[in-house]
Structure 1
């Protein structure tokens, strides 16, 4: 299978930056501007944990595997420049078309974000599909945006809409690279991350790294139509789903109070941004519900533990 897949890869065309060497040699080569920081992330997805092979196409698997890593690069307000794709596939005749489809889905998304597939590996085993991706990113500013850096009084924002991702968004979302870079041009972001496990889990992580607390409001949460649909079947509120459903892959970021007005005035992207709360000096993450009552935000999002 491996040799047939390598022959297939040799026939594929990707747009590579000047002086970049991709698939076909013993290692890939990337040119790197002096004094520019390298940002690297990796993640693995597998059948029956992150997707169900019976319900998705190989192309969707490859797209998601790359997208979750590009989302991590976007969370640091950086630009992806190349990716390694490693496949572990079931033995048998299915392995080659699976490999080809997964590569195709990843390569199409990579082309969209200037992040070509420049290498990787493949193997078969008597088990289920697993896909590992490593993405290399370049920081266009002095330093990447970190979870550490939020200050008391900073405004808390999110991009897009939240909740209900299991109804489809988790498999076909668009990483917020363009939005992160535009945000950084407009204002001085103080901290940020992407929402992978749900706002109720991820916001406390940002606060812990920044050694601050936070208060958010239920009323302005940008609830997705999918969250409303989920609520109709679960008996929970749409706001609960917006707070707790995982794999939104939207940006969670903080902005100094003095720059909020400029951000809201100058933001022109097609993806909306919404102010949902404020960073506090004292530890603890609080939720002001629709009745105006203040209560601790319970971390009920998705946990890998």
Structure 2
């Protein structure tokens, strides 16, 4: 597949792609075993005032701008052509209830119109890290698993989009702004298994998020499950009964779960094998310091 840069974009409008269905539902949306731990409103200090908001959207929207240096690379396919465009800022737009409406990208070389990435779901989408987090990575790519809606000027189409950040601090803040939570722990895991459901995931990331209420939630993508269960799983840390760190780094960490909810009752226990020994130690230490 050919690779196209900013000077080749946008392509001529295609009538068949001028409208898209709003029925797309992302498997990357959060599905909680309890009430959502993330507060729907972000810190007012990161948002623009109503007078300085862009014209798109409602005056009641909250908009947080994430400046980027180096620029983020946005990749997508349209009309069998792969495009890679670079932008120097992202506006994260949410409505008054905290639902994510769209991402507005700007500052691209040769780009006169804003690049709008909209979400066709009422649930909060999870920024999906496509590769396990390892030390000293030069770039990290985030996607949202399913097709999303893109608009540039009058051109509207559906495609899968990925964001490649060259700075982990930018990638981190992007996740935090979307999820309205602090990312307090992340590590790559080789696999996770539960006693009740078997293999949960392989080669994924385990994240722990702290909502504005202070509630801590562990999050991972169950990519080994059947299609209907292939989704993000969240486990409040208060639902972890006990932790067995294993005798050595070759042994997984075993979490005994309280059967507070149907999902946890199905899982019963969770065994996690980390990719790096230091991450396994840091995870156990974090749980010990933040136990109930």
TM-score range, shorter chain: under 0.3
* Higher relative contact order, structure no. (Cα contacts within 8 Å, ≥ 6 residues apart): 1
**Comparing both structures, which one devotes a greater share of its residues to strand?**
2
TM-score (norm 1): 0.25
Q: Taking structure 2 as the reference length, what is the TM-score of the superposition?
A: 0.26
